[in-house]
Amino acid sequence: MVAITRAALARQLSSPYTTRTVASSTVSKKYTKKKKRTVKQRTSSSTISLPLQSYNEIAGKSNITDANGYDRYGNPTGREYDLGRDGAFMGFHILIAQFYSDAQFNDAAMQLPIDQLKSKGFQVTHVKTEDACITELASNYYQIAWIISTNQIQNSKFITALTAFHSTGGAIFLFADNTPYVCHASEFLRTKFGITLEGNYYGGKIMTFKENGHQQIGSFGEHQIFTGITNLFEGITICHPVYSTPTSREVFVTIATASDDNSSIAVYDPSPTSTEGRLCLDCGWTKLYVNWDSAGTARYIVNASCWLLGIS
């Protein structure tokens, strides 16, 4: 792990700006229904060219009353209301490990978030097997890994590989859904914090921004991840974290509470001196494909990815 300041963010770009997809067999689910810090950067062979200001001026502000326009959910329209500036993340790499797939959650569906990430400058690799994910995690090529859980872990080395990635500066976006489609995220959190994921709550509602509303039913509070969002879809089938100790609840912090009064989105933000990367947990990954166009989803997903880098 190498901690890199903005002045030191320089490497020789050696790979093209592409999205790679590795196909595999998948498990099918029957669907019925602002602090300053350095960038924790694992060694890679690419150039990272970070502009003086990677975030938009409204970073951290959800309730925007003077926007040029609003969508049908009441969120402001326009890229200037995102957390990250377009093109500001050139040279940063995201690995998307999609372990769940079905007729709806296919490559075409995943292309929607991939395209949004690319608009910010991210380079994206998309894999569908644990073996491919383990290989990519060990490459020192990625700053962020998305882990989209399914109902079983097939490779016993997976959690070890993911934990090593995180402990050496890799940031992780954990996606879970209803039980049993929580395995990868739940096992990592159990290993790291003593937290497990469970539940099959049928949500489908929209959470709203409230000042200091992190733990209020159906609400979310102030956080850079929610920049430009006053209304956010909670997902359809939703799990929730189960905390084994008070300490785990304090360290892995709820920033949004679903309509069942359980944590829906939670984050881990290590100290600036830590070698670990940031973490974000989303408990309803249906928003990635079934409701990508619903309230605030696209902006939230990309905002969270920008935040995970630890740039301010």
Alpha-carbon dihedral of residues 262, 280, 71, 78, nearest 10 degrees? 160
Per-residue pLDDT tens digits of the chain, which is 312 residues long: 333 332 223 222 333 334 455 544 444 444 343 444 445 555 554 555 555 589 999 999 999 999 999 999 999 999 999 999 999 999 999 999 999 988 778 888 899 999 999 999 999 999 999 999 999 999 999 999 999 999 999 999 999 999 999 999 999 999 999 999 999 999 999 999 999 999 999 999 999 999 998 999 999 999 999 999 999 999 999 999 999 999 998 999 999 999 999 999 999 999 989 999 999 999 998 888 878 889 999 999 999 999 999 986
Q: What is the pLDDT of residues 12-49, one digit of tens each?
A: 233 333 445 554 444 444 434 344 444 555 555 455 55
Q: What is the pLDDT of residues 153-168, one digit of tens each?
A: 999 999 999 999 999 9
The candidate with the shortest Cα–Cα distance to 132, out of 154, 106, 109, 104, is: 154
Q: What is the mean pLDDT of the chain?
A: 86
Encoded amino acid at 74, one letter: G
Q: Read off the pTM.
A: 0.87
Q: What is the pLDDT of residues 122-140, one digit of tens each?
A: 999 999 999 999 999 999 9
C-alpha dihedral sign at 230, 221, 142, 153: negative
Q: Using alpha carbons, list the distances in angstroms from residue 46 to 11, 91, 257.
A: 5, 6, 38
Q: Using alpha carbons, list the distances in angstroms from residue 48 to 25, 202, 277.
A: 34, 41, 17
How many angstroms from the chain centroid is the CA of residue 301?
Answer: 6
Q: Report angle CA 238, 240, 246 to the nearest 5 degrees.
A: 170
The candidate with the shortest Cα–Cα distance to 287, out of 197, 204, 228, is: 204
Task: Tell me which architecture the domain covering 14-23+35-308 has in CATH.
Answer: 3-Layer(aba) Sandwich (3.40)
Q: Where are the beta strands (DSSP E) in 216-285?
A: 219-220, 231-233, 237-243, 253-257, 263-268, 279-282
Q: Report angle CA 244, 171, 304 to the nearest 5 degrees.
A: 90
Residue 308 contacts by C-beta under 8 Å, 6 or more apart in sequence? 143, 144, 171, 172, 173, 277, 278, 279, 280
